[in-house]
A and B are shown apart, each in its own frame.
Chain A
Amino acid sequence: MTFAPRLTGSSRPARRSVLAIAALSGALVVTACSPSTTGTSGSGGEGGDGKVTLTVWSWRVEDQAAYTRIFDAYEKAHPDVTIDVKAFKATEYNKILATGLAGANGPDVPQVRSYGQLQGTVAGKSLLPLDGKVDLSGWDDNVVASAKGKEDGKTYSVPLARQTVQMFYNQGLFDKNGLKAPTTWAEFIAANDRLLAAGVTPIAVGAKDDWTLPIVHEVLAAPRFGGKAFQGEVLSGKKTFTDPDWVGSVQVVGELAKYMPKNVTGVAQTDAQTLFSAERAAMIPGGSFDLSVFQKANPGMKIGIFQVPPAPGSPSGSTATTAGWADGNFAVSARSKHPAEATELVTWMTSKEFGQMVTDDIKQISAVPGVEPTDPLLKQMSDSYASSGSPYLLLTDFRYGAPSGTDLLGKGLQELLLGSKDAAEVSQDLDAGVKTWFKPTA
């Protein structure tokens, strides 16, 4: 008869069939190979002449050419090794990596996430421990932490880059309005007011993309909660995110909202970057990884950076800071057919030679100690981190469980900017969220 009844008529038998399927599934599960029992089958092919091909995966599509250049140098020094670099879109990379590490044709040397987001990969025993093979002694503690398994304390990857967050500003627009990089909060606010009066958006923020907001919070308000000192206290359990200083730091973002684009929660990050590149906004909080984006988008624009000075009410002794973390780490897949060669490659990634190429070709701050960035702005970022750095707390310490600190604060700050929650409530939510999995050390 009519179609709808057809569908109905078939629903009852369908229910029976589903039961049958469920019964069958038991049998199927037994015969199904569990994903992890599939035999090792790394992608590295072996030529007849004993040449080894190592496959490297990265989420930086924009850097593929640079990586190819860098690995050319390695191939020259290691004639038996060919390196095949493959880059995937960053937003899809997690999915690709999850399957790549579990099955055939995967990478030998994958780029892996750092800190908490590395842990799932480690727990699946997808990576080879590198202890005793790579030497990270003398590296920044915060950087080394990015590469370790939380449970077993072993090293599973080699950090590629140190990322820092800071305020970028348009020097031309600042000059035109008689402004210079502020060193006190009063100067910072005065600059904002001057720019606003001149019809320029003072601070470009893309609050539609929640992941950008914890970075905005770090840049604008890290001194307000106390930077590195607060990290120690919150990790030991002496303080929580409901601490008045933390609430105050969240409040700073809310108070500065008037200097951000109108309807800021509707502005995407790409819009915010375009506002800055098109010289319609004078400042943008961003990461060291954004620098090359701005330089490419508007080569004629003169860019500067500064640390936002401490907001009023900051704990005594609190100074302007540059928050940082490590990422882009490379690891060795447990399924690689050539673990020795792959390990040698990641060991080379701890060398100054590699580090220098990373900073020159990829325009990032190398994680290798002692490597000096050639780009003056990158060097300034690197120096600021060295002299007055702090960890980007929510990323480095609060991504070891779900919900993660960055996710919670990102969403919370959107609610703050929308006016649906105040700073105390946002902090309360963050505290309650991380408490579901976070255990203080003391």
Chain B
Amino acid sequence: MTTAVVSTEAPGEASTTPVAPRPRRRAPRVNRPVGGAGAGVLLWGYAALALVPLLLMVSNSFRSNADLITDPLGLPAPPTTSSYAEAWTTGNFATYFGNSLLVTVGAVAVSTSVATMAAYALARARSRIFRWLESLFLSGLMLPIHLAILPIFYLFDGLGLIDSRLGLMLMYAASGIPFSVFVLTTFFRQLPEELEEAAALDGATSWQTFWRIMVPLVRPALATVAVFRFVPIWNDFLFPLVLLRREDKYTLPVGLTTFFGENATNYSAVFAGLVITTIPLIVLFLVATKQIVAGLTAGMAK
């Protein structure tokens, strides 16, 4: 599911590309905001709606549990950080955090690398077999992979990959390939072929052309793909739940389910745990938005 969901975004951006016959970057002479002040209020109001539940999560994490039970939605007055101390020490979050980072970063790196190579070939090779392979990858977008949880378990069991962070990483990397190939192929197709012809004249090998010339050109697209793969992997708990057994290998979401169970009635600790799991994503996203938006616009402008 995640794969498809994520794709709601990037491929669509590509779709408009060719239709637009020579876009002018943005509109420098936009006269005045459409809808005026009323629309402005609406836009900021909606932004508040987007943030309120998240702020509630943060605010509740700074309150004591007794406080939460009597009034689940009050303000943290005075704020207390004891639930963070509790979550961090009793919840093993430091370990989970490291595991999550390792698995997610590894999966995104592997997935993006192999998908970039494949996408380049699919965009450039003419042979029929590549059309067939492309369809194969695309059909992966429609495979509800979480329904194959039992076969995946047996596969891992057979390969001795139960309890292996490497195995989990490879699984995530593989499940991200259809989406990444889908997006990146479009981007490569938009690049003029003269680039490679020129490189070939200069005596560059296919690999050199790919690595030195093509990859740098699709960098914004790579950022987009990487971030949109990062989020669902970071948040997934189904696969690690079934494929990992040892607590020292748990990723954050699985650790969180255990933590939830231990603290079923300790809401403030639960909220603190939620904040700890969410913060890295927010940071990543804030850092990466610029790249993503650049990626999308670059896709458009071609």
Contact = CB atoms under 8 A, between A and B. Distances in A.
Nearest to B189: A6
B242 A10 contact: no
B23 interface: no
B262 interface: yes
A295 to B, nearest CB: 10
A256 interface: no
B153 A99 contact: yes
Contact of A64 (B11, B72, B262): B262
B223 interface: no
A168 to B, nearest CB: 15
A88 interface: yes
B68 to A, nearest CB: 9
B136 A38 contact: no
B19 A2 contact: yes
Contacts of B12: 3
A44 to B, nearest CB: 13
A64 B163 CA distance: 21
A89 B19 contact: no
B257 interface: yes
A48 interface: no
A293 B143 CA distance: 42
A403 interface: no
Interface in A379-396: none
A103 B138 contact: no
Contacts of B245: 43, 86, 100, 105
Interface string B131-161: 1101110110000000001100110111010
* B: contact size bracket: 35 or more
Contact of A296 (B18, B70, B265): B265
A229 interface: no
Contacts of A7: 138
Q: Which secondary structure dominates chain A's binding surface? A: helix
Interface in A81-107: 86-90, 92, 95-96, 98-100, 102-105
B69 A293 contact: no
Contacts of B16: 2
A35 B150 contact: yes
Given A64-B262, A89-B257, A100-B245, 16 more contacts: A1-B18, A2-B15, A3-B15, A3-B17, A6-B186, A13-B135, A17-B139, A33-B158, A35-B150, A87-B258, A88-B241, A99-B153, A99-B242, A102-B153, A105-B245, A293-B265
Interface of A: 1-4, 6-7, 10-11, 13-14, 16-18, 33, 35, 38, 43, 61-62, 64, 86-90, 92, 95-96, 98-100, 102-105, 274, 277-278, 293, 296-298
Interface of B: 11-12, 14-19, 69-70, 72, 131-132, 134-136, 138-139, 149-150, 153-154, 156-158, 160, 162-163, 186, 241-242, 245, 247, 257-258, 260-262, 264-265
Which 4 pairs from chain A and chain B are nearest by CB?
A61-B261, A3-B15, A103-B157, A14-B135
